[in-house]
Every structure is written in C-alpha cells, then in structure tokens.
Amino acid sequence: MNALKNGLDYKQVLRDAGLRVTPQRASIITILSEADDHPNVEDLYEKTRALDDTVSVATVYRTMSVLENAGLVRKLMLDDAPARYEMMPQTDHDHLVDVESGDLVEIPGTEIAELMGRVAAELGYEIVSHHTVIRARKT
C-alpha cells in the first residue's frame, strides 16, 4: 500500500492501523511513501531531518519498527547491509540485488510466486507470505 502515491491520506493510513499520528511519523511515512528506492534508516533520517529537525535517528528506528509491526512497511534484510524499507506493496513482488553496486531492483510479475506456490502445494503446503531476494551480477 503506497499511501501517498495512491492519493490516500497518510494520517488516515496511520489511524486505520491503530497508530497515533505524530509529526515524526507523518514525516517519515511521507518520505518513505514518496521514495523510489528502498532507503535504510540513515537515508530516512537524513531526508526526515530536512523536513523536521527535531527527529532523531532513534525516533526513525522506533518508527520503522512500529510501522513494520503494523503491516505498513516491509523490512528488507540483505546480507550484512543495513535493513532497507518499502511501503507494504499492494501485490507481492521480489527483489534483485546487484552484488557489486548494492542496487536493489524490484522484479515485476508473478512467475516466481506462481512457481513457489506450485512447489509448496506439491509438498502439501500453502504459502502464507513470501519474499525472494535474488543476488546477481550484471553480465
């Protein structure tokens, strides 16, 4: 759910998730909603400080944890790198990480999910959620 890009009111998104609307949360969710990349906490902190100089890095960490627990954001763990974040997508998608540059690319489509669903079904399981990270190098 990308609240701002879809024209939704971020304050209402926070309320619907049972969260208090604070200026810090509003700033952070605004930045994350408008991000075309997958920022880490330090990236979010720098961008949020430009909007609200009262925000601390600890506030950003706490807010990201709250937003993740509320199901509004997805935390992407990539090897030893700092966690990166995205607004919870309306549809599942996977990611490719360029092992040389660290670039994170969204993989559109449903082929990977369909294949995993078939494999899980053959083993007697139903996938509840998934997130695949493919590590690759440009050829």
What is the block-wise mean pLDDT of the chain (139 residues), using blocks of 10 residues? 54 87 88 89 94 92 93 85 85 84 84 91 92 88
Quote the DSSP letter at residue 109.
S
All residues at 6 or more sequence positions from 58 whose CB lies less than 8 Å from its CB, including other chains: none
What's the pLDDT score for residue 8?
58
Distances (CA, A) of 106 to 53, 57, 59, 117: 31, 27, 28, 20
Q: All domains of the chain, ordered by start, with CATH? A: 10-87 (1.10.10.10), 94-136 (3.30.1490.190)
The pLDDT value given to residue 2: 44
Pairing state between β 104-107 and 94-98: antiparallel
Residue 16, both tokens: 């619907």
